Amino acid sequence: MILFTPHHVEMIKAGEKTQTRRIWKRPRAKVGAVHLVKTELFSREHHCKIRILDVRRELLGNITEDDARAEGGYSISEYIQVWEAINGVFDPDQLVYVVTFEVVH
């Protein structure tokens, strides 16, 4: 299970969001694994399922225009605003996990 904002769930279902950056101490997703997409931790409801295609670590500030588009169709400056709304400060030197996925039905 991976949590997303309700706004991002719709983007995932539409195929507009195929990547997510996470502040994890260790990876919580493995390539090939299928995860439920939820908006609430303890809810039984899930919105769809995603298959993990890639997991890598990189600095948050290394996001490219292509990555920002894969995060939901954003420009880099728009993505920074979204990140700050969800996570607080955008620290370009912060190590994050980048998870690439596809929707499975």
Average pLDDT over residues 51-80: 98
* pTM of the predicted protein model: 0.95
Assign 48 a pLDDT band (cuts: 50, 70, 90): very high
Assign 105 a pLDDT band (cuts: 50, 70, 90): confident
Could you tell me if 61 and 93 are in contact, meaning their C-beta atoms sit under 8 angstroms apart? yes
Q: How far is CA 20 from the centre of its chain?
A: 2
What is the Rg, in whole angstroms, of the alpha carbon atoms belonging to the chain?
A: 13
* Whole-number Å distance between alpha carbons of 96 and 87: 12
Average pLDDT over residues 45-56: 97
Tens-digit pLDDT profile for residues 14-44: 999 999 999 999 999 999 999 999 999 999 9
- pLDDT value of position 58: 98
